[in-house]
Amino acid sequence: MKLSLAIATTLASGLILNAAAQVPAAPAPAEASASASVPAAPAGPVKIAVVAFQVAVAKTNEGQRNFADLQKKYDPKRQQLKTLNDEVESLTKQLQTQGDKLSDAEKASRAKTIDDKKKQLQRQAEDAQNDMQQEMQELYNGLASKVYDVLASYAQQHGYTLVLDVAQQQTPVLYASTGTDITNPIVEAYNKKSGVPAPPPQSGAVPNAPAPKGSGPQ
């Protein structure tokens, strides 16, 4: 029961962006665009920037719109799972409160009905979760490639010789000043290029870029 309810709760929560953060981050230059090429590093001092790439992708107007549309697409399925879950809980409560008044055969029959519905709930929740994750992966990959192209162009125009992704769990970055974080400028540059308008405020909150790391290892 716990597994089924956990899956159903996950779907009902609508945490689209949290799930999006689990997919691969910045694509390698060769994967980002078949026509894109990595510019040669300019001569002179090394200029480094940091970016929370996954967050940048999710914060773009296009990303917010696409993920909100995906969430709406799965709203009926979440409601269906919630209804089935409520039914299982109701039947279980009835069996617990009326069990001493039922015959062994009736108790066994009701218990089987509950078990069958639990299995149905788990199967449907897992299928919906897998389908949603697959669609989310495809949405993210397609958008990430376009955001990467903007990032590469931005880095070249501003003379950055190295851009580090601080959204990665294994990032080697221990400290970065606020001025080196180009997450928001990348989002703004992409929004300008895409022309997609900002979604209305009620469409959902988007996580902010993580603050530059300055406290060292925890």
What would the DSSP string read from start to end of 167-190?
TSTT-------GGGB-HHHHHHHH
The residues, any chain, with a CB within 8 Å of residue 161's CB and separated by 6 or more, are: 41, 42, 46, 47, 48
Q: Could you give phi then psi for residue 18, rounded to 5 degrees?
A: -65, -40
pLDDT at 176: 87
In the chain, the percentage of residues whose pLDDT exceeds 70 is: 72
- pTM of the entire predicted model: 0.68
Three-point CA angle 54, 57, 62, nearest 5°: 155
Identify the top-confidence range among 17-21, 26-30, 180-184: 180-184
Is it the case that residue 118 has pLDDT exceeding 90? yes
Distance CA 30, CA 38 (A): 9
Three-point CA angle 15, 21, 25, nearest 5°: 160
Q: How large is the average pLDDT for residues 33-47?
A: 58
- Comparing 143 with 215, the larger pLDDT belongs to 143
Mean pLDDT over the full length of the chain: 80
Amino acid at 14: G
- Comparing 187 with 27, the larger pLDDT belongs to 187
pLDDT at 54: 95
Distance CA 25, CA 136 (A): 13
How many other CB atoms sit within 10 Å of the CB of residue 200? 8
